[in-house]
Amino acid sequence: MYSVPRRQSGATFVEMAIIAPVFLLVLVAIIELSMMFFASLTMQYAVREGARFAITGRSSESATGTQQRYATVIAKIKDNSLGMYDRTSPQISVNGTKYSTSTYNNGMFGAPGDIVVIQLDCSWPVTTPLLSSFFTNGVYRFAVAATMRNEIFP
């Protein structure tokens, strides 16, 4: 039977105490990077689904007035974002013009046959210290867009 000398019996615990924090920091950084890429892909899907709805010219019956189509398109994007819409707090651009939830106009998605470009400029706050130094102000910024031609609608 092999026996460990008495002076080396705690070496494993010391090595683990040195390596464990570094390992856990790298593991958390990998998880956060995967969440950032997941957010980017999810928002890309959401804006594509919103644009697909926008080109039909339809709107929800629950919205009223000039905000009908805008509110319905934003609702479609939110529904398809799996909660990432609120987490990334996007700035919405349609055909290069930035809009907020309070500024919109009825023709912002264009007329039948027009090309519509919907872009969301998103930000993701980076919480891992190992990663935050790689991003300006500790925020990962990304943009997603969809370009489609409006269908013929009434």
Residue 122, phi then psi, degrees to nearest 5: -110, 160
pLDDT band at 47 (very low <50, low <70, confident <90, very high): very high
Q: What would the pLDDT profile of 82-117 be if each residue is shown by its tens digit?
A: 999 999 989 999 888 887 665 666 667 878 888 999
Per DSSP, which regions of 89-138 are E strands?
A: 91-94, 97-99, 115-125
pLDDT above 70 coverage of the chain, percent: 82
What ranges do the domains of the chain cover?
13-149
Residue 151, phi then psi, degrees to nearest 5: -75, 170
In angstroms, the CA 69 to CA 45 distance is 19
In angstroms, the CA 17 to CA 118 distance is 50
Per DSSP, which regions of the chain are E strands?
A: 91-94, 97-99, 115-125, 139-149
- Parallel, antiparallel or unpaired: strands 97-99 and 115-125: unpaired
Task: Give the model's pLDDT for residue 42.
Answer: 97
CA dihedral 137, 94, 71, 55 (to 10 degrees): -140
Is pLDDT of 59 > 80?
no
Task: Give the model's pLDDT for residue 103.
Answer: 63
Tokens at 74, concatenated? 């934003």
